[in-house]
Structure 1
Amino acid sequence: MPEMTFAVRWPDGAVQNCYSPSLVMHDHLDVGANYTVADFRTRATSALDEAAERVRAKFGFACTSAAATADDIVRNANRYEDDAVVEVLTMHPPLETS
């Protein structure tokens, strides 16, 4: 199962590097896009839940790293107003374009 990393910039300029056990993040977030904190929190945690379930389906156990990343995102998001802006800086590996 291909894993990936992604980085976001929070409203105060802090950068958070994140991990996902699946490329599913590409289905929920776009590089260079800005999201409100509330929207980002929802998109990211939904994608990480989906990634953890893909791991469970393939290997028979949940991915604790996906859960830890989701927890970190929620904890950071709670520091800001819901309408503040988060920017997705990078997603690696990128999706191949046809």
Structure 2
Amino acid sequence: MPEVNVTIEWPDKQKDSIYSPSTVLLQYIKSGDSLSIQDFDERISQALQLASQRVYERYGFECTSAMGELARLKARIATINDKNQLIKVL
């Protein structure tokens, strides 16, 4: 499966890299997107869960890296009070 890394910029201007075991991530977020925290949360959750499911369908086990990445991103999202702020996909 082709892996993908996407760079985002959090509202505080910190850059972060997102790992996905599948290119399905690119169907949910793409370079140039500016997404509200809520929209990003929904999209990244769907994308990484689907990516993990694709690994399961191919290899018989879910991708723990994708689920770990999702947990890490959700923990960061939880620290942001204003959910109307934007995350930029670089």
Category of TM-score, reference length = shorter chain? over 0.9
- Alignment partner of 1:88 is 2:89: yes
For 1:7 and 1:75, the matched residues in 2 are separated by 17
Identity %: 31
Greater share of helix residues, 1 or 2?
A: 2
For 2:78 and 2:32, the matched residues in 1 are separated by 22
- Alignment partner of 1:73 is 2:73: yes
TM-aligned CA deviation for residue 36 of structure 1: 0.1
The one-character-per-residue Cα deviations of 1:25-64 (angstroms, maximum 9, x if unpaired) are 1110120110001100110111000000000000000100
Give the corresponding residue for 1:35. Answer: 35
TM-score (norm 2): 0.95
TM-score (norm 1): 0.88
Unaligned segments of structure 2, at least 5 residues: none
Give the corresponding residue for 1:3. Answer: 3
Q: How does 1:58-69 map to 2 (within 5 A)?
A: 58-69=58-69
What's the Cα RMSD here? 0.7
Unaligned segments of structure 1, at least 5 residues: 90-98
Count of matched residue pairs: 89
Secondary structure of 1:7's counterpart equals: strand
